[in-house]
Chains A and B, each alone.
Chain A
Amino acid sequence: MKLEYVLYGFGLLFCIAGIGYLAAEYVKYLSDIGKIVSLLLTVGLFTFLGKYFEGLGW
C-alpha cells in the first residue's frame, strides 16, 4: 500500500472527526423537531451513500 493512501485515510478521518465534533457541539442549540429531522436526514444520507457505492460495485 502506498504511503499516500495512508495519509489520505488520516486526512479523511480527521475531517470526519472534526465535522462530527462541530455537529455534536451545534446540535445542543437545535430544537427537538430539528434534532429528529436532522437524525432522519443523516440516516437517509448514509443509506443513499451506501446504495450509491453498492451500485458502483464496492
Chain B
Amino acid sequence: MAVKHKNLYLYLALACFLGIIIIFIFDGYMGVYDTLIIKAGEYEEEIEADEWTQRDGGFSTTAVNWGEKAFFSYKVDNRRFSSYTADIEVSLWHEQEKVYDIMAQPISVASFDSTELEWVLDMAELVPDSVGPDQVYEFTVVIKMGEIERSLRVRVSSERYAPKRAMEIPEPSR
C-alpha cells in the first residue's frame, strides 16, 4: 500500500507535467492570427502574427523598388470555437498624417476558418513627382482590426535593383 501511495504522487506530478504541455500546445495554437504577405518585384515577404510583437514598437519594415507595384495580402486565421467579427481599416500615412484610406470593411470569419483581404499600392502613383528615383521615400501602412493595430513602414528606393556598375579594368602597366 505504501508503495502504491508513493507512486500515486509521482503519477500526479506526471499528470501535472502533461497538463502543462497540453495547455502550451492547445493555448498556443488557439486564437486569432493575422499574417501580412507583401509581394513586390521578385520578392515576397511574410510577416506572421508573432513577428509583429517581437519587432520594435510593433513596427515592421519592407522595401519596394521605385515605380513598382506592391501587392498586399492580409490573412486572418480564426482558430477559435466561435466566429470572429471585426472592422478592418487599412490606411496610408506619411509623416504622421493620414494620406488616404485604402479600405474599410467589416469581416466575419467562421470558427477554424480564414479570410483574406488584398490591395495593391502603385509606387508610381504614390510617390510625389518632386521626389526623384535617387531619393528614398517612406510611408506607413496602418492596419486596424478591432483592438489589433499593425504598422508597416514601406521604404521606396531604387537600392534593391540597383544595376551593378561595370568594373573598370585597369590598363595593364607596361
Contact = CB atoms under 8 A, between A and B. Distances in A.
Nearest to B3: A55
B10 A42 contact: no
Interface residues of A, number: 20
Given A29-B50, A52-B6, A34 B27 contact: yes
Interface string B30-66: 1100000000000000000010010000000000000
A52 to B, nearest CB: 4
B16 A48 contact: yes
11 contacts: A23-B24, A29-B27, A29-B28, A30-B24, A31-B27, A33-B27, A41-B19, A42-B16, A44-B12, A48-B10, A49-B10
B9 A52 contact: yes
Q: Which 10 residue pairs spanning A and B have beta carbons closest together?
A: A34-B27, A48-B13, A45-B16, A52-B9, A55-B6, A48-B12, A51-B9, A44-B16, A41-B16, A49-B13
A26 interface: yes
A13 to B, nearest CB: 19
A44 to B, nearest CB: 4
A45 B17 contact: yes
Given A41-B16, A41-B20, A48-B16, A30 B9 contact: no
Interface of A: 23, 26, 28-31, 33-34, 37-38, 41-42, 44-45, 48-49, 51-52, 55-56
A52 B2 CA distance: 11
Given A51-B9, A55-B5, A26 B20 contact: no
Contact of A31 (B5, B12, B31): B31
A52 B50 contact: no
